[in-house]
Structure 1
Amino acid sequence: MLDRRTLLAAGTAAALAPALPASAQAPAVTPAFRHVTVGALRATVVNDGAATRPDATRGFVVNAQPDQVAAALQAAGTPGPALVNPYNVTIIRTPAGLVALDVGLGTSPALMVNMRNAGLDPAEVVLIAHTHFHGDHIGGLLAADGSAAFPNARIAVPEGEWNFWMDPGEESRASEARRPAFANARRRFAPYQGRITRFAPGAQVAPGITSVATHGHSPGHVSFLVADGDAQLLVIGDAITTPALFMANPEWYPVFDMDPAMAVATRKRLLDQLATDRIAVVGYHFPMPATGTVERAGTGYRLVPLV
């Protein structure tokens, strides 16, 4: 079993990811949801659609050559060069109500439709806890008219993430490409003012749900350890994405990692612990059903889907 104290301690010591254009939107993902039992808790991974990167061999993996990326995709059974990138939101049913870990891209009704099909009423979401503030994780905070999409929800955010994206100084120093992410974060959280709390890594955001520092992809990125007794599930956000690439090759990093060196160190630490402790994991950008365990494979790792 994962040593929870070790994971939390290691994590504590330890640009906006733009949506692809509408023309690149992929068909609905199947299955649309997956229930996972975690002791007396139930987690449901709900898909919010997907986008297709037309050629993942170029410009996506910063420190690998196109032929290396193509070979990795083929080894994983993905023909390439196109890569489907899903958006998967994890929702935990607790005695107090539903807790959503991120809220998707928000450009289509997919999340709301799939939640209802999974037996989850969006009106029952009492808390939204965020891994980080890239647009495909906070877009779903707003309804089409700009109001709060989850009017009954409180918001919990990593303090490091909030401090970065709400800092005018950071915004002034940001590249022109990244600067819109600051305004986007302000706009997405605006309808929830008065209901936003900040937490430090290691804090319990809800009963059975504890934050874990997994910085690097973004300045304050966290994962969430969902636990009840010996049953555990780690919801990793974007700390590890696209298993065919970044599990198989942990030292590779995608263009969206804001601090590549830290992101790689975080990824390698997580993969080692997940493979050693056989804890179940959920990946925001894993192929649905987006859940599994990690095992060592050669010089890297692979995802073994849950049955």
Structure 2
Amino acid sequence: MLELSRRNLMTGGAAAAAAVTTAPLILAAANAQAAGGAVSPLTGVYAYKMGDAEIIQVFDGARTFPIPDNFIVNLSKEETAKAYAAQYMPAGQLTITFSPLIVKVGGKTIAIDTGNGLGANAATKGAVGNARHSMAAAGIDPKSVDIVLISHFHSDHINGLKNADGSPAYPNAQIMVPSVEQAFWTDESNASKANGPNKGNFAGVKKTMDGLKTTPFDAGKEVAPGITAVATPGHTPGHTSFVIASGNKSVMVQGDVTNHPGVFMPNPGWHLMFDNDAQTAEATRRKVYDMASADKMPIIGYHFPFPSAGFVEKSGTGYRLVQVHALS
């Protein structure tokens, strides 16, 4: 049974360091940002302080493509197209953005997910795979990263672990992965338990993870200074979110609890084709957003429009995202 609440989110080492608060985040422009704005389209960097932690969102890019059949599996393709058109996307198409995270806290530099990777950057002519370029703009050398936390094993989250030539992208980092996630995707016999879009993920996981030393972790534990892992399954069996806590402030890094917030947050019962267990993913979504809205806890979404942080409010039978704005 999924148990998600303010209390058990903060179990483990992070509880001693901080408690959830309703105080808003105070945002400040990063050095790499353009004067007069919080986001520079040239650097893809958005940074702010939260207590003693510095959070740096690095834009990996965006893909626009024709809406696949069954993209929302319990909605017709026509209704799906209307939902994305309502977000002012080109007719019959959708856009997905990708935003990994860098956290500097407790003397450590921590990456949360890695983007599509430099190989994808070349293959897509710069549409995605820009996280490393954004890190460079923020003055972050991948060799300086101490820990990489992986939320789940989909390619847009793990492919950045390697350079285009297959060498480790973070050569000095401890690569930490959810134990449930690792056990599922590294056992090819589990392909029978994966839905259609996920069956092909096993080969990609093998290619990316081969040769990398990983450290598995369990949910409910502090996995880095002030960062607690939270089980949020459904999108994948071991999908994990993270709560970053510093001082009396906290934020949840929700990974892929939902995809585009303008489409799925008002309609939490809509099921994305990439959610391996749609019913569990929906239950997770509702529990996470009920908690976030009740506690006024800000969240960061990997596929939220950049910059990818905001607050959740209940709206009708679903939710809406109120994205944050820079405060100088």
Question: Could you state the TM-score of these two structures normalised by the residue count of structure 1?
Answer: 0.85
Q: Is the 8 A contact 2:60 2:130 kept in 1?
A: yes
Alignment of 1:78-93 (within 5 A): 78=89, 80-93=91-104
Distance 2:197 2:293 in 1: 36
How has the CA–CA distance of structure 1 residues 231 and 127 changed in structure 2, closer, same or farther, with 3 Å as cutoff? same
How has the CA–CA distance of structure 1 residues 174 and 262 changed in structure 2, closer, same or farther, with 3 Å as cutoff? closer
Distance 1:176 1:271 in 2: 27
> Which secondary structure state, in structure 1, belongs to the residue aligned with residue 311 of structure 2?
strand
Among all aligned residue pairs of Structure 1 and Structure 2, give the percentage whose two residues are the same amino acid: 39
Aligned pair 1:219/2:231, yes or no?
no
Residue 33 of structure 1 is aligned with which of 22, 36, 45? 45
Residue 261 of structure 2 is aligned with which of 243, 246, 263? 243
Q: Quote the residue 2:132 is aligned against.
A: 112
Q: Is the 8 A contact 2:84 2:93 kept in 1?
A: no
Q: How far did residue 72 of structure 1 move?
A: 3.2
Q: Is the 8 A contact 2:254 2:301 kept in 1?
A: yes
How has the CA–CA distance of structure 1 residues 141 and 173 changed in structure 2, closer, same or farther, with 3 Å as cutoff? same
Distance 2:280 2:211 in 1: 33
Aligned pair 1:137/2:151, yes or no?
no
Q: Quote the residue 1:45 is aligned against.
A: 57
| 1:184-237 deviations in Å (ceiling 9; x for gaps) | 2222222322xx211111111101110000000000000000011321111111
Q: Quote the residue 1:295 is aligned against.
A: 313
How has the CA–CA distance of structure 1 residues 8 and 210 changed in structure 2, closer, same or farther, with 3 Å as cutoff? same
Distance 1:286 1:210 in 2: 21
RMSD (Å), alpha carbons: 2.3
What residue ranges of structure 1 are gaps of 5+ in the alignment?
10-27
Q: Quote the residue 2:76 is aligned against.
A: 65
Aligned pair 1:181/2:201, yes or no?
yes
Distance 1:120 1:283 in 2: 21
Q: Quote the residue 1:14 is aligned against.
A: none
> Which secondary structure state, in structure 2, belongs to the residue aligned with residue 198 of structure 1?
strand
How has the CA–CA distance of structure 1 residues 158 and 266 changed in structure 2, closer, same or farther, with 3 Å as cutoff? same
Distance 1:45 1:135 in 2: 19
> Which secondary structure state, in structure 2, belongs to the residue aligned with residue 184 of structure 1?
helix
How has the CA–CA distance of structure 1 residues 217 and 125 changed in structure 2, closer, same or farther, with 3 Å as cutoff? same
Question: Could you state the TM-score of these two structures normalised by the residue count of structure 2?
Answer: 0.80
| 1:257-294 deviations in Å (ceiling 9; x for gaps) | 00000000000111111111111111111111111111
> Which secondary structure state, in structure 1, belongs to the residue aligned with residue 166 of structure 2?
coil
Number of residue pairs matched by the alignment? 285
